[in-house]
Amino acid sequence: MEDSALLKEFLGEYEKYYREVLVPTRSEIEDTFNPWKTDPDYWAAYSSKSKLPVPSPINRVWANIKRPESVVDKIFRKPVDFPDSLAPRSLS
């Protein structure tokens, strides 16, 4: 297969992976952690008998989803880590 066709196919697969896996997973994580960060009463059940407030152990939730160009660049920079090169299975 021609390199440009392979790249185009990979980018299409990445777009699908982005929509179907990465974005929903990030949303799930945020939906889980945000109440822990923002609700001061959430951790009250775990507090001791002291009058001191119990701080949330969650300080910040950060997610980074790579741009398609960055993914392709990484695959080419680290061929040992991605032996299948631009094959869709490299996304996993």
Nearest to 63 by CA among 35, 20, 25: 25
pLDDT score for 51 = 63
pTM of this prediction?
Answer: 0.64
Residue-wise pLDDT for 20-65, tens only, equals: 999 999 899 888 887 777 776 776 666 666 666 556 666 666 778 8
Phi, psi of 78 (to 5 degrees): -125, 65
Within 10 A of 43 (CB to CB), how many other CB atoms are there?
A: 15
Nearest to 9 by CA among 89, 91, 82, 86: 86
Nearest to 30 by CA among 66, 67, 58: 58
**In the chain, domain spans:** 3-91
